[in-house]
Structure 1
Amino acid sequence: MSARSSSLAAIAVFAAIGLPLGGIAALQHSDTAPGQAGPGRTDVMANLFEWNWASVASECTDVLGPAGYAGVQVSQPADSLRRTELGNGSDTVLHPWWEIYQPVSYELTSRMGSEAQFRAMVKTCRKAGVKVYVDAVVNHMTGQGSVSYGGTKYSHFAYAGLYDASDFHQKGTDCPSSTGGIEDFNNLQQVRKCELVGLADLRTDKPKVRNELAAYLNRLIGYGVSGFRVDAAKHVGQDDLIALQKKLNRTLDGDKPYVALEVFGGGPGTLSPEAFTGAGAVLGLDADIQLKNAFKSYPADATGSLATLRDFGAGLPASGRTLTFVQNHDTERNGDSLNYKDGATNLLAQQFLLAYGYGTPQVYSSFAWEATDASPPSSADGIITDTDCASPAWVCVHAEKAVTGLVSFHNHVGRAPVTHWWDNGGNLIAFSRGKAGWVALNNDKVPHTETFGTGLAAGTYCDVTRGSVTQGRCSGPTVTVDARGQARVTVAAKGAVAFTKADRV
């Protein structure tokens, strides 16, 4: 997020160019992906960005649990900046989405609800079989304002009972830049010890600061939280992240907290995403760029080439150390990725990610926006209102049948390898996941009919992109696989067909 006066105008700009405003990582990382053991691999996470706690709780019970989601990422829950006037980053939106990325204290009073509502949400989600992962801001405090949503008064370097000026990096003594901000994002000292767009930068190497952060995160763990997305992790640095993780407790399930670190690509050596994988998982911020280029590319109306995805993951951090997604709140706004406005193309990309198996997949849902700093649907005082997926104000990608069908597919095929790859050199592809499942995806604007080798046994299978099996009957279209494991299938324009061996009818 951005800082005081003129510096804050940069917030939306930095979000737009891909500088960290939020992230997920493993403070105390687990060597396994999040989720419980299931028929195959149940690790799919939904990211319900800036949903209030009551709405998240309801969604866990009504949608996420029944659909097979293993986890849900929720927004930064700590008390944060509440803007009282325009300017400093937005001249048109009083309560932009990025307010929550400027924490004032570690009390759980936020735009999303109270501490009691947060605790109830975590309990409800866990009861539904959905683990909760929290977006954690540990690099900085605020860059503007003087009052929080909880009513706490503060100044840039003074947070009563928590931090004072000695707990922050200062221009001249710590930060070598002329402004006190990061001027060169390839300069290691500036990246770690200068202010990110004017946000008061914590001395995360200081024992007092580490103890305060650990106490906050351990309180969340005690409430049932299973892990964290670590915002701006690149600016914390590997040593401080590892030191902090050592202070964290195990979760209620007895595991180390799963953590994914926000580290944007493009930095050299020590600043690269790969260099952070020893401190936890990293966000798939280069993977979502590859997906955009394959599904949409850059000339006007271009569709890229899905055939290029045969080697998806090549040149990226290891699959077991990556939290992957088609978009998140930064990349949907800065142009690095597809977003909900891409409609059927966006859904198709979500289906591919779930089917292919690279990384721990996350499906992003949030609110509709035009301006990049738009507020989620809120009351006049900035409190986020209940989510209504039937309203155009909200975008519930995670609940689309095209997506939930592939969540089921992903869970059933587990870690089976990609086999029987087929493509037409353009935008029609198909592949099996061992002998566990088969999928075809068509990114063209016209349907295609082909005969494919599926790798599955002869029989009739339910297409889970449009139906499901109940009491041996399919509620949608079916596909017949012959004795040779082949099937003649028509794949709709901007559509997919998928089934697993469990979908045989």
Structure 2
Amino acid sequence: MFLTKSLVCLAILAIANAQFNTNYAAGRSGMVHLFEWKWDDIAAECENFLGPKGYAGIQVSPVNENAVKDGRPWWERYQPISYKLTTRSGNEQQFASMVRRCNNVGVRTYVDVVFNHMSADGGTYGTGGSTASPSTKSYPAVPFSSLDFNPTCGISNYNDANQVRNCELVGLRDLNQGNSYVRDKVVEFLDHLIDLGVAGFRVDAAKHMWPADLGVIYGRLKNLNTGHGFASGSKAYIVQEVIDMGGEAISKSEYTGLGAVTEFRHSDSIGKCFRGKDKLTYMSNWGTGWGFAASDRSLVFVDNHDNQRGHGAGGADVLTYKVPKQYKMASAFMLAHPFGTPRVMSSFSFDDTDQGPPTTDGQNIASPTFNSDKSCGGGWVCEHRWRQIYNMVAFRNAAADAALQNWWSNGSNQVAFSRGNRAFVAFNNDNYDLNSSLQTGLPGGTYCDVISGEKSGSSCTGKSVTVGSDGRANINISSSAADGVVAIHVNAKL
């Protein structure tokens, strides 16, 4: 009996450990959330930009049929009608082609999956032509009936774990993941995506589901598709949306044995630091010392599609594209620092927090346009195409697994550190200039600052930094500079 139990425990441990592996192609890092992009546009972006720039993965908006809501708000994507792969982003054939094309250039796909609930009242017609009756909990295109849902009740008390997990989040019909038929349908949906070549999932509203039920669902999933370049026996990377800022009944630690979590404390804390509410010097122990989950359990981000709109966690401290200098600095810190699995946000511009993506006619999503400096137009922000961000993905790739060393601070808001002898970065968030001789850890030579420009042949389109034979360099960042960062690495040596 003991042996059997031990083997079961080992099997569960093996599954869990596999679920923390991002399944990235070698030498790549950085996931980008291409929020509300169309599948054909993502496929082209993988080939034309993300692959060549060293990005490792994409998080895509929900792929399954959702309720069509008046005004086409972004959040209609989080109101499922069925598990048919038809949305405003495209159909199943387009999605399958996108995953294949992205995998072919080393960029993995992570799907935002919504199986805590189905659509709320009013969500009667779907993007794939299916109909539903949320008021009677009837979703014939799955099919789900009232037998598959928890009783109707609202969530009013986040200190009551039963209510948070068994009642309805903002009126969304709450599926019972303890029901074997519901589990079957969810596993069937996720396995189908695995067959199509995805590398993992962001599990929406995981906090609203029982960890034991999720454990059963994850444990039943197929191995990744070796026909898409995954190693035999690979498991889907799972990152669970669990907002845990402390002080509630539900803790992220209930989920970190199952997969990674969305570490909202990282977003909140990095926003406070680069908005000047906390000093950068305090970031010397960045990581679990700040209350974050373990590094391999933490998906980290500056902002996400919810909290850039004031939903979720972080409030007014969250940095977004609307505060570009500090946003780029925070993003550079996240990508330079070894902690966590970073995800870059790629937004569309908005004024109204319900506003959906740019369209051609109020219904169909418009494709982004591209400017000569690689930035986007047509209502798309494309932070992942900002030089200060994509060049820091290359910095992270150059740093690889080198440890954080040579931490320096002026005791206030000027800090610097190296990643071993491979990369070095410095930040100035003070209202006076940084002008210091700092230990970079790098071999002597002249390097291109990848924030102000990039290496082009044997020259640099931006500033260059000279490192002496002792590894030291004079680092200058004016308080009025367009960018408060200087970054150099071995692949940007002239």
- Tell me, yes or no, whether TM beats 0.5: yes
Q: Does structure 1 residue 77 correspond to structure 2 residue 63?
A: yes
For residues 382-397 of structure 1, the aligned pairs below 5 Å read: 382-389=363-370, 390-391=376-377, 393-397=379-383
- Residue in 2 aligned with 1:442? 428
Tell me whether 1:281 sits opposite 2:255 in the alignment: no
- Mapped pair 1:205 → 2:194: no
Residues 154-303 of structure 1 aligned to structure 2 (within 5 Å): 154-156=132-134, 157-160=137-140, 161-171=142-152, 180-252=153-225, 253=230, 254=232, 255-266=234-245, 271-297=250-276
Residues 27 and 257, structure 1, Cα contact 8 Å, conserved in 2: no
| 1:348 alignment counterpart | 329
TM-superposed CA distance for 1:432, in Å, is 0.7
Shift of 1:347: 0.9
Task: Answer with 332-341 or 211-220: which moved more.
Answer: 332-341
Paired AA for residue 349 in structure 1 = A
From 264, 274, 282, give the equivalent of 1:308. Answer: 282
- Where 1:182 maps in the other structure, the secondary structure is coil
Query: Unpaired runs of 5+ in structure 1?
Result: 1-25, 86-93, 172-179, 299-303
Q: Secondary structure at the match of 1:185?
A: coil
Q: Distance in 1 between matches of 2:33 and 2:430?
A: 28
- Note closer, same or farther for the CA distance 1:266–1:352 as it changes in structure 2 (3 Å cut): closer
**Counterpart residue number, 2:8:** none
Specify whether residues 197 and 269 from structure 1 end up closer, same or farther in structure 2 by C-alpha distance, changes over 3 A only: closer
Of residues 491-500 and 348-357 in structure 1, the stretch that sits farther from structure 2 once superposed is: 491-500
Pairing 1:398–2:384 present: yes
TM-score when scaled to structure 2? 0.88
Render the CA deviation track for 1:177-215: whole Å, top value 9, x for unaligned: xxx111111211101110011100001011100110111
Q: Which amino acid aligns with 2:138?
A: A
Contact preservation (8 Å) 2:25, 2:107 = no
Q: Does 1:376 align with 2:357?
A: yes
Identity among equivalent positions (%) equals 39
**What is the rounded CA distance, in whole Å, between the counterparts of 1:28 and 1:229 in structure 2?**
17
Partner of 1:479: 465
Which residue of 2 is the match for residue 46 of structure 1? Answer: 32
The alpha-carbon deviation at position 356 of structure 1 amounts to 0.9
1:311 counterpart letter in structure 2? N
Kindly report which structure 2 residues correspond to 1:304-343, keeping only aligned pairs within 5 A, or say none: 304-313=278-287, 314=289, 315-334=291-310, 335=315, 337-343=318-324
Q: Tell me if the contact between 1:28 and 1:245 (Cα under 8 Å) persists in the aligned partners.
A: no
**Given the alignment of the two structures, is residue 504 of structure 1 paired with residue 493 of structure 2, yes or no?**
yes
Aligned counterparts, 1:86-165, within 5 A: 94-145=71-122, 146-156=124-134, 157-160=137-140, 161-165=142-146
Structure 1 position 28, deviation (Å): 9.0
The 8 Å contact of residues 141 and 199 in structure 1, kept in 2 or not, is answered as yes
Secondary structure of residue in 1 paired with 2:133:
coil
SS state at 2:203 partner? strand
**Distance in 2 (alpha carbons) for counterparts of 1:262 and 1:409:** 28
- Rounded to whole Å, the distance in 2 between the matches of 1:267 and 1:306 is 23
How far apart in 2 are the matches of 1:57 and 1:66? 13
Question: What is the rounded CA distance, in whole Å, between the counterparts of 2:362 and 2:61 in structure 1?
Answer: 18
Structure 2 equivalent of residue 22 of structure 1:
none
Aligned AA (1:310)? S
Q: 2: distance between equivalents of 1:338 and 1:31? A: 27
Q: Which residue of 1 aligns with 2:3?
A: none
1:405–1:466 Cα contact (<8 Å) kept: no
Give the total of aligned pairs: 455
- Return the offset for 1:475: 3.5
Distance 1:376 1:485, change over 3 A: same
SS at match of 1:151: coil
For structure 2, list consecutive stretches of 5 or more residues without a partner in the other structure: 1-14, 371-375
- How far the C-alpha of 1:268 sits from its partner, in A, is 5.4
**Contact (CA 8 Å) 1:451, 1:488: kept in 2 or not?**
yes
Give the CA deviation at 1:421. Answer: 0.9
2-structure distance, mates of 1:213, 1:46: 25
- Once residues 454 and 401 of structure 2 are traced to their aligned partners in structure 1, the CA distance between those partners, rounded to angstroms, is 22
Which is bigger in relative contact order (C-alpha 8 A, separation at least 6)?
1
- Residue in 2 aligned with 1:15? none
CA drift of 1:247 comes to 1.5
TM-score computed with the length of structure 1 as normaliser = 0.86
> Which letter does structure 2 place at the counterpart of 1:464?
V
Q: Which of 413, 428, 435 does residue 399 from structure 2 map onto? A: 413
Asked if structure 2 preserves the Cα contact closer than 8 Å seen for 1:27 and 1:228, the reply is: no
Q: Deviations over 1:448-474 (max 9, x none)?
A: 221111112211112122333354443
* 1:452-491 paired onto structure 2 within 5 Å: 452-491=438-477
Task: From the superposition, tell whether residues 457 and 28 of structure 1 become closer, same or farther in structure 2 (CA, over 3 Å).
Answer: closer
| Displacement after TM superposition at 1:490 (Å) | 1.2
Residue by residue over 1:104-132, the C-alpha shift from the partner in whole angstroms, topping out at 9 and shown as x without a partner, is: 00001101111111111111111121011
Q: Distance in 1 between matches of 2:456 and 2:324?
A: 29
What letter is aligned with 1:339?
A: T
For 2:224 and 2:242, how far apart are their aligned partners in 1? 24
Structure 1 letter corresponding to 2:90: G
Call closer, same or farther: CA 1:480–1:297 in 2, change over 3 Å: closer
Q: Report the equivalent of 2:26.
A: 37
By how many angstroms is 1:504 displaced? 2.1
Give SS of 2:268's match. helix
- Aligned mates of 1:428, 1:297 — CA distance in 2: 11
* 1:381 Cα offset (Å): 5.4
Q: Distance in 2 between matches of 1:361 and 1:368?
A: 22
Amino acid at match of 1:130: V
> Which residue of structure 2 aligns with residue 20 of structure 1?
none
Write the distance in 1 (CA, Å) between the matches of 2:210 and 2:155: 15
With over 3 angstroms needed to count, the CA separation of the structure-2 counterparts of 1:27 and 1:327, relative to structure 1, is: farther
Aligned counterparts of 1:33 and 1:409: Cα–Cα separation in 2: 19
Correspondence for 2:6: none
Question: What are the superposed Cα offsets for residues 269-304 of structure 1, whole Å, 9 maximum, x if unpaired?
Answer: 861112210010001111100001001156xxxxx4
Mapped to 2, the partners of 1:358 and 1:270 lie a distance apart of 27
User: CA deviation digits over 1:451-502, x for unaligned, max 9?
Assistant: 1111122111121223333544434322111122110121243421111223
What's the C-alpha RMSD, in Å, of the aligned pairs? Answer: 1.8
